[in-house]
Structure 1
Amino acid sequence: MKKQISDRYEPTSVEPKWISLWEKEKSFEPNLKAGESFTIVLPPPNVTGSLHIGHALNHTIQDILTRIERKKGKSALWVPGTDHAGIATQVVVERELAKEGKKRTDFTREEFEKKVWEWKEHSGGMIQNQQKLLGESVDWSRSRFTMDEGLSKAVFKVFKTLYDEGLIYRGERIINWCPKTLTAISDLEVEHREVKGKLYHLRYPIVGQAGKYLIVATTRPETMFGDVAVAAHPDDERYKSLKGAELELPLTGRKIPLLFDSFVDKEFGSGLVKITPAHDPNDFEAGQRLGLKPLLVMNPNATLNENAGKYAGLERFVARKKVIDDLQTLGLVEKIEEHTHSIGHNSRGGEIIEPYLSTQWFCKMKPLAELAIQAVQSGETEFVPKLWEKTFYEWMNNIRDWCISRQLWWGHRIPAYHCKNCKHIEVSETKVDNCPKCNSTEVEQDTDVLDTWFSSQLWPFSTLGWPENTEDLKKFYPTSVLVTGFDIIFFWVARMIMMGKKFLGKAPFQKVIIHGLVRDKEGKKFSKSIGNVIDPLDMMNKYGTDSFRFFLAATLPEAKDVLFDESRLDGYRSFCNKIWNSSRFILMNMDADWKLEDLESKYSSKLEPMDKWILHRFNETLANYEKAYSKFLFFEMASQIYDFVWGDFCDWYIELVKPRIYGKLGEESKEVAKQVLASILIKALGLLHPFMPFLTEEIYEVFSDGDFLIQTPFPGSYNVSAEDEGVLKTIILQDVVTQIRVQRAENGVPLDKKCKVILKSSEPLVASAVKDFEFSIIQLARLESIEVNANYTGEKTDSVGAFRFGEVILPLAGMIDFEKERARLNKELQKLIQEEEKLASKLGNENFVAKANPDVIEKEKEKLKNVREKKEVLQKGLEKLG
């Protein structure tokens, strides 16, 4: 034995030590000599970011997987890195410049880019330092950044290839436009919020029919200057007689046609819709189909342009009020209704997004989506849980072309070169100085950059060295597993599958593990505005990283969200302390020259019943742990090892072997007990390690010959049968002691009163177990005596409970004051009845059931079930007392 461990577990001293040692010894680098590989690529967090609760959950799951597969002997590679996060990073740097009284446009583009790179080098590594604090076993030597030279090379090759094949094109379409950052943004960056607004019913005069008008409803009257038509359904009898009619667009005098098209819902409102192709995606498609020319009426900064006449220059919401005031003056407002509807906001700055007609670069998605669909349908890529495949197919089958350009200075600049002379556009992976068509030197690179998701969709193979055919690419692609939240299946997961199939002919990962979101204990999303945000670093500092990690895994139900209840962290901190104190007890009873031997080769014939039982229980735990792991049920894995370590090992086995450890049953029995204790402890640490890397590594160090627990093989099972007589005898002991403890508690028998217990059973094994374990049963259950009597008839006041081979009978006469116990039970019963009524009323409230999170409702139902079970126990106790 190298040393003892301290009397208290102090995460603040243990965790930094192992972070440093693992990195120094390159413990996270893959063993390239191992045959089978296991690869995960970390979903790259933004370079501007810090570790949030979602990262903590996602990264903990990946670390559990990587540590297990590494221990199973695979060449395990977990690839880290960060995303350049176009908009977010540019905003951060511009904010820093503003502190100096400067803005981006005070610099050339090249100067500004240099400023961003400088910021990235000095401040952009914060999240990776935080990942180390979480204990993530990523291979830091292979860390990548989406704008690394190699990854940029991959981006330009993909762009060029897709452009040459006609899958990337430049055109005019409706996009999400942010008037504040002055760029197109992705669908993912648009947060739809329910907003209380108004629905304006406006009168559009019919040309040539004085005093007659049609009513059209809109939520954005300021865009009416871009109306190019009004449409009705061809079968709508109300408007058939107006075929060929024109309407006067209010406030403009411009005439627009009344058209008929089946896309109009004749049952909704007046059955009429105005078509504003430059400011609405559905109207744009309708306009394309009907041959209508779009009319843009807004500037990029959300002020109205010259097409709005006298309203030009007004900010959009100022214009809205002015337009409605003027329409009311003209008598052209039918009515205004309160109207709640969903409006897109920039998820970063909160600005309301404008659907906006703009010339951008787009990627055709249908042909690429077919590749992704084929990968999932064939089983090449599997979603876990499988229910997410339906969502995936719905998105893929309804996919639209993707706007890939952004009006930013930070990012991968689009590799397209515009000739000012002949207007030719040349796309090239390398810089173009002369136009290949007219040889002009008046060539300028496109000013836009690519959407950040364009580079991150290449992440599984660009990080491994593609487009070169590197050794890493050969060994580690395709990757084994992707772990991610459901919210980016479409924006990232699907696109990675498309690109992997397109450029390497193989889907980038075999399985996609989808987990839920982390919400507060009431089921609400974490939000700064609500004030319920949790900082993972605070939790790690307060409770220890191992407790925090174990909590995240143990509370992750299949296909559901995690409800974050901080009070549960205290319980897992207690679990860490339980492991530490039990390990310390074991180590304190080992001499300095004590050595762990091969248990089964040297001691198999000397194992006592309780030894065989704990080995059997480990086998069962290992089998259930492995079964849960095969289904990626991390909460079940955590539950199995928690129950085994705390219950079977600490509360039962250690207590049972204490007389042997203290030498009361002979030296040989003592040594066998020590060997079993150490063997089980080390194997249990092996199963705990993926969840609790720091604590387990620190304890294992005492037994180590210089190796780390992270490097040791995955634990194997023991050669012991579940039907072994020693196993069965110990199970009888457990059942009997547990039943006695339950009966003492239910009947209010004080712990300091020693009871007599009768086991009513004709099973010979019971008598044999009592003979072997009489001392242990009496000690553990605090008895005066125990006997086996198959013919015991009993008294009316006896407390009776079943165990698998008979009944455990606890005579209560002389043990308790019956009158006092009846009063106690009645008091408890009244409390439970009140609690039952309160919970039943809450669950019977339709308003609560309609609004509450499903997990919260399930929690309340579980409470009600527990209350009713307790009530039933008390009622039976009262019946017994008469």
Structure 2
Amino acid sequence: MSETKTQELAKSYDPSSIEAKWYPYWEKKGFFKAGTDKSKKSFSIQLPPPNVTGILHMGHAFNQSVMDSLVRFYRMDGYNTMWMPGTDHAGIATQIVVERRLEGQGKSRRDMPREEFIKEVWDWQKLSGGTILKQMRKLGDSLDWDRLYFTMNEDLSKTVIDCFVELYNKGLIYRGRRLVNWDPKLQSSVSDLEVESEESDGHLWEIRYPAVDGGEGVVVATTRPETLFGDQAVAVNPEDERYKHLVGKMLRLPLTDREIPVIADPYVDKEFGSGCVKITPAHDFNDFEVGKRHNLEQLNILTKTAHLNDNVPEKYRGLDRYEARKQAVADLEAQGLLVGIKPHKHMVPRVPRTGEIVEPMLSDQWFLAMSEPAPEGCRFPGKSLADLGLEAVDDNLVNIFPEQWRKVYKDWLSNIQDWCLSRQLWWGHQIPAWYDENSKVYVAHDEAEAQAMAGEGVKLTRDEDVLDTWFSSGLVPFSTLRGDQTSLDLFLPSSVLVTGYDILFFWVARMIMLTRFFTGKVPFKDVYLHGLVRDAEGQKMSKSEGNTIDPIDLIDGVDLDHLIEKSVVGLRRPEKAPQVINKLKKHYPNGITEIGADGLRFTMAAYATLGRNINFDVKRADGYRNFCNKLWNASRFVLMNVEGKDCGLEKDAELIYSVPDLWIRSEFERTVKEVRQGFTDYRLDNAANAIYSFIWNQYCDWYLELAKVQLNSGNPAVERATRRTLVTILEGVLRLTHPIMPFITEELWQKVSLVAGVRKEDEETSVMVQAYPKYEPEAIDDEADKQIEELKAVIAAVRNLRSEMLLQPSKRVPLAISSRSGEARARIEKSTAYLQALCRLEEVIFTEDLESVRPAGSAAPVAVVDDFSLMLIIKVDVAAEKTRIGKEIAKLEAEIQKANVKLANEKFVSRAPAAVIEQERQRLAANQALLKSNQEQLAKLPSE
């Protein structure tokens, strides 16, 4: 007999106290540490390293909920698990933050030595770098914190230098003068992947370029008239008959004393504009390629801050690019060369972090060759980095989920450009290259090695540039395991990379290429690409739009005033504040109630459909907070009914399992199968939905109610079996749910496990290191399933009858049942006690003929379910019922008439939003259905 008595479970679920209690316990006990048993299978994940100066945002909350759920599942399932934590130095983002702090103090990076600025960054990193790590703990992330890395740590930095030097020595890294994206605010090159193009309202300026020989010349159209000072030619399509006679002729370049030729190139679309295109090789990527084909000079006309330089006429020197545009347009108009100005929508490239419009700029940079075959001595001689990336996916060494991203990945690699590695920043891995006074370069592991290469006494100067952050990030699959052979053997490749599709090229592809090049292995076996988290209306979350949600606010709750304050402070455009405030008041009139980490995690899991963007709705999170309450209250009920009582745990205990006991065990096993499949397929939405459905719909709504009947059966063996089923299924449910909702399941399991006999009172352990439930098909009882489904159908029909007859929940009435099948009647007779309890019946009468037990004047309807006919025995006041139904019919007819008039109004239909019209149509259909139901009910009433 089990007489274990645990500390009583609190009446209400309080997520904050539970979460504060269990995470320190797990960490102290070392439950997060990676397993290294070589006899076991391994499961590992590399955490996409968040910015060291960042805070947890909704994207982090989503992918970390997914990752932690997977890690906890495989840990419980007996795998060596390793979840590698780390943070990224985030060169651009961090430098921007620190520069803004300095500006607030009246300082500038450019007014201090590099070493002093770097010290400022490290100080800021120490101050703020741990913020996101604390927040990750709050979310419940079970990372192996002993392995925490920072991409600027000494060990990882050494790997970065070693890899750069090796790639240079293999001829794959080179320095060259190329056109790059240039951010004038950062005064640095930026990657194509760091530039977002947005549609903007602009203008198309039509400018005449006169012919040198006195002819009219040509008219070109441009969105950037200020760049004409760098023009080297005007191009036409070689097939364009209008201009064939001009090819080779010279034109006068407006506002200058230069002459430029007319050239023919197939790049020109003869159908667009005038069919003539100005070619500015130093300030346009397409023009750069045209210029190379025609050996045109590359004339740079901009400084690093996007002001016009000395290569333009003196009048324009020193002007900001946009001031120069205004001046040039005014001067063109004054000289009669401005033919026209037209409104024009076009794509403008910006760097999101600075908001700056980028300029194509000629610059000396370091590049990594992506399509150059590797030389002999490499692991894959004759294959380029792009080849290694393509081969990994083509040969299924790396599987990408969802499938459609494979094509996107392959298309990008098939058309890849060399990677510009250098950034003109101070924060980051400084490029290991030194120059002598003749500009000869020496790439080495350190200055001493470079000096030895240059010779004693040769003065060397180190390259000031740093490496693109994504270069060091691309090495983390092996740089974080370097020097630990056991970990390299067990955890490279890792099992899965969980990340957003937006960094498929930034990070995923580069890790595949670089890890294969340096180790011969792929970095991970699977790539799970999830969508982006957007607001409830499907808009991208952005501080500048004021529609971001702080996950910590969801976990802890926040009042409306605090929510408004946080949202308005970050606005890039303060004039949007009223609009943002109104939106917040609309969506969160009472602020955000405390969801708790478990509620947020379950919400994220339920949203985790492969590849789709997530329109996050706080109302849905509220629903999963209620789900936590449901699980808590169910556990309280179970513990109150089993603690200190005989749960039949002894071997010789007499147990008589009822049909509901057998059924709930069957349902549990099916749920285990579905949930395990969800984890295996990276379909956490399926796993979460299966858990939710079982706990709420089957265990709580049905089994607990049926169990109440059995606990009062008077049969000790039945009651004992019921208590055992209640507690063992609940204990299994808590293990099943733990990976997604770790805190509440730990709190409940610690109590339930004692009563279930799973652990002893003095045993300190955790649900997170228990075995995950295995699917046991032999426990499925098909006959019990059929009987319960039949019983549920009958109960639902009786409840519907009560609703139709407007019976108060407290009113108990008799139920009459007739059956065409003696076998069916025998089954339902055994369930009489369940029917009486769950349908609030006074008694159940079995009869061959329902009409024989109908009271005189009764208009009670009859429901038919399979072999059963059901009727509540109740006398109805026919006159009163007719009056009531008549009033309801009149009301519905008026509503239907009103809706028909509105939908027939062409002005309403043409002007109202589609959602409003659809809502009106749905309301009309619902009222029509209700009208039909009431008319049928009225027809069944007898004549008076």
Q: TM-score range by the shorter chain?
A: over 0.9
Matching of residue 649 in structure 1 with residue 696 in structure 2: no
Find the residue that maps to 2:307 and give its secondary structure: coil
Compute the displacement of 1:840 (Å): 12
Tell whether the 8 Å contact from 1:174 to 1:284 is kept in structure 2 after alignment.
Answer: yes
Aligned partner of 2:137 in structure 1 is: 132
Tell whether the 8 Å contact from 1:603 to 1:672 is kept in structure 2 after alignment.
Answer: no
Separation in 1 of the partners of 2:481 and 2:930?
62
Query: Where does the alignment leave 5 or more consecutive residues of structure 1 unmatched?
Result: none
After superposing the two structures, state which structure 1 stretch, 716-725 or 100-109, moved more: 716-725
Change (3 A) 1:869 1:611: farther
Find the residue that maps to 2:832 and give its secondary structure: helix
Of 512, 525, 538 in structure 1, the residue corresponding to residue 527 of structure 2 is 512
Change (3 A) 1:585 1:301: same
Aligned partner of 1:37 in structure 2 is: 42
Matching of residue 551 in structure 1 with residue 603 in structure 2: yes
Find the residue that maps to 1:665 and give its secondary structure: coil
After superposing the two structures, state which structure 1 stretch, 186-195 or 859-868, moved more: 859-868
Could you state the TM-score of these two structures normalised by the residue count of structure 1? 0.93
Separation in 2 of the partners of 1:301 and 1:522?
38
Of 225, 228, 251 in structure 2, the residue corresponding to residue 224 of structure 1 is 228
Separation in 1 of the partners of 2:134 and 2:49?
14
Matching of residue 499 in structure 1 with residue 551 in structure 2: no
Tell whether the 8 Å contact from 2:367 to 2:418 is kept in structure 1 after alignment.
Answer: yes
Tell whether the 8 Å contact from 2:210 to 2:252 is kept in structure 1 after alignment.
Answer: yes
Tell whether the 8 Å contact from 1:615 to 1:720 is kept in structure 2 after alignment.
Answer: no
Aligned partner of 1:820 in structure 2 is: 884
Tell whether the 8 Å contact from 1:232 to 1:261 is kept in structure 2 after alignment.
Answer: yes
Separation in 1 of the partners of 2:698 and 2:905?
40
After superposing the two structures, state which structure 1 stretch, 319-328 or 289-298, moved more: 289-298
Aligned partner of 1:715 in structure 2 is: 773
Aligned partner of 1:25 in structure 2 is: 29
For 2:614, give the aligned amino acid.
V
Tell whether the 8 Å contact from 1:729 to 1:766 is kept in structure 2 after alignment.
Answer: no
Separation in 2 of the partners of 1:412 and 1:140?
24
Separation in 1 of the partners of 2:418 and 2:630?
56
Matching of residue 630 in structure 1 with residue 680 in structure 2: yes
Compute the displacement of 1:759 (Å): 4.7
Tell whether the 8 Å contact from 1:732 to 1:766 is kept in structure 2 after alignment.
Answer: no
Aligned partner of 1:373 in structure 2 is: 390
Change (3 A) 1:867 1:649: farther
Q: Deviations over 1:796-835 (max 9, x none)?
A: 9664555455555567862881431343366457658877
Aligned partner of 2:555 in structure 1 is: 540
Matching of residue 426 in structure 1 with residue 426 in structure 2: no
After superposing the two structures, state which structure 1 stretch, 750-759 or 361-370, moved more: 750-759
Tell whether the 8 Å contact from 1:80 to 1:142 is kept in structure 2 after alignment.
Answer: yes
Separation in 2 of the partners of 1:280 and 1:830?
67
Compute the displacement of 1:445 (Å): 1.6
Find the residue that maps to 2:67 and give its secondary structure: helix
Compute the displacement of 1:454 (Å): 0.6
Compute the displacement of 1:744 (Å): 3.4
Superposed counterparts of 1:465-864, under 5 Å: 465=482, 468=483, 470-541=485-556, 542-592=594-644, 597=649, 606-661=656-711, 663-702=712-751, 703=753, 704-705=759-760, 706-717=764-775, 722-745=780-803, 748-759=806-817, 761-787=819-845, 799=861, 803=865, 805=867, 808=870, 814=876, 817-824=881-888, 827=891
Change (3 A) 1:608 1:442: same
Q: Deviations over 1:291-326 (max 9, x none)?
A: 112100000001000111120100010110000000
Aligned partner of 2:254 in structure 1 is: 250
Separation in 2 of the partners of 1:834 and 1:512?
54
Compute the displacement of 1:667 (Å): 2.6
Compute the displacement of 1:624 (Å): 1.8
Aligned partner of 2:375 in structure 1 is: none
Q: Deviations over 1:360-380 (max 9, x none)?
A: 111122321221111111111
Compute the displacement of 1:587 (Å): 1.2
Find the residue that maps to 1:483 and give its secondary structure: strand
Aligned partner of 2:942 in structure 1 is: none
Aligned partner of 1:390 in structure 2 is: 407
Aligned partner of 2:589 in structure 1 is: none
Separation in 1 of the partners of 2:127 and 2:608?
36
For 1:379, give the aligned amino acid.
N
Tell whether the 8 Å contact from 2:665 to 2:780 is kept in structure 1 after alignment.
Answer: no
Matching of residue 84 in structure 1 with residue 89 in structure 2: yes
Find the residue that maps to 2:318 and give its secondary structure: coil
Compute the displacement of 1:733 (Å): 1.5
Separation in 1 of the partners of 2:814 and 2:422?
82
Change (3 A) 1:630 1:320: same
Find the residue that maps to 1:453 and give its secondary structure: helix
Separation in 2 of the partners of 1:866 and 1:163?
69
Q: Deviations over 1:158-209 (max 9, x none)?
A: 2122222222111111111111111111223322222111111111111102
Q: What percentage of residue pairs aligned between the two structures are identical?
A: 41
For 2:28, give the aligned amino acid.
K
Aligned partner of 2:420 in structure 1 is: 403
Separation in 1 of the partners of 2:882 and 2:778?
47
Find the residue that maps to 1:359 and give its secondary structure: strand
Separation in 2 of the partners of 1:524 and 1:840?
33
Compute the displacement of 1:783 (Å): 2.7
Tell whether the 8 Å contact from 1:277 to 1:286 is kept in structure 2 after alignment.
Answer: yes
Tell whether the 8 Å contact from 2:655 to 2:717 is kept in structure 1 after alignment.
Answer: no
Tell whether the 8 Å contact from 1:797 to 1:881 is kept in structure 2 after alignment.
Answer: no
Aligned length in residues: 868
For 1:769, give the aligned amino acid.
R
Q: Deviations over 1:765-805 (max 9, x none)?
A: 53233221112112211234445567768999664555455
Separation in 1 of the partners of 2:901 and 2:871?
34
After superposing the two structures, state which structure 1 stretch, 388-397 or 748-757, moved more: 748-757
Change (3 A) 1:765 1:75: farther
Query: Where does the alignment leave 5 or more consecutive residues of structure 2 unmatched?
Result: 372-383, 557-593, 754-758, 940-944
For 1:675, give the aligned amino acid.
R
Separation in 2 of the partners of 1:546 and 1:160?
47
Aligned partner of 2:935 in structure 1 is: 878
Separation in 1 of the partners of 2:538 and 2:696?
29
Aligned partner of 2:63 in structure 1 is: 58
C-alpha RMSD over aligned residues: 2.9
Compute the displacement of 1:544 (Å): 1.1
Q: Deviations over 1:627-663 (max 9, x none)?
A: 33332221221111111111111111111111333x4
Change (3 A) 1:666 1:645: same
Separation in 2 of the partners of 1:561 and 1:863?
28
For 1:510, give the aligned amino acid.
K
